[in-house]
Structure 1
Amino acid sequence: MQIPAMIPELFRQAYELSVDVFYDWDTVYSSGPPAADVDADDDDIDGYTPFQQVLLMVAYEYFSEEGTAICYLARADAFGTLIGDRQCVESWISRGWARRSATDPDAFAPRRFLLDAAATCPLDDGHAEFDPAIFARIAEIRAKEAGIEDRGN
């Protein structure tokens, strides 16, 4: 079964909020994350990583419809798989689709059109990952629409 596509802006806003919450609890929630006892040193709390816990929290606070929250979570998880592939990230950086942090060589920031691609790329719930070639084609189209020249080609 196919996971429905999302409006790119909605996915992007929710994902960016998730990242912001993850990296700065105090700005968003002065008393820490609600309904989650997240210890930054613990990689596996109740079966979910701290970032997955944030994704869950944001999904159910940001989207009023459960189906949309589930769609967001599936797409965020599939995008996380791509982010976890160092070769994929290095390809994005070389193409100008992401930029490396000046202070942390392991950190990078994807361009917004990559989040838009994650919102619309076909995703089968049985497979739970984007096809990297299809994702790259969609990202390339989105990059051209955004006026980003592909430095890799």
Structure 2
Amino acid sequence: MIPDDDPARSLTVADPGDPATTFVSLVGNTYAMLITGAQTGGRYCLIEMRVPDGGGPPPHRHDFEEMFTILEGEIEFTFRGDKHTVRAGSTVNIPANAPHFFRNVSGAPARMLCMCTPAGQDEFFLRIGDVVDGWDAPPPQLTDEERADRRRRAGELAETYRSEFL
């Protein structure tokens, strides 16, 4: 049986130009929280990622699915130790629990969409990153102590958000 419609949930239109969009600076990348878990009843979140040349997260894994659609540039995904270069127009799915990370290898900024299901990664990024004013906002100039604090916080919160840094 399909449950009744929930009129408390509304249509969501993801527009990164909307002034209400939250932008997060994290490890040199800028992420726009396009659709949050709060908007989908926790089913998924959608994040637009802008990654500078050479940028990307450290090796990690998590118990949720993560799908990336490359919009601009080339991203090198290291999945279970094997490297795969993925170009604009392609989509990659990272299965839950698989070790992985990515690097922008395009020689220019790259853009991609990231969908996580179930949601939670959006909240994690907000708790460990720095909210910035938009795409063009420079990343905060962090001291060594502040960078160490961000890494410590990420490590402490990883288990809460079903993630592990490798």
Q: TM-score w.r.t. structure 2 length?
A: 0.32
Q: Which has the higher contact order (CA 8 A, sep 6+)?
A: 1
Q: Which structure has the highest strand share of the two?
A: 2
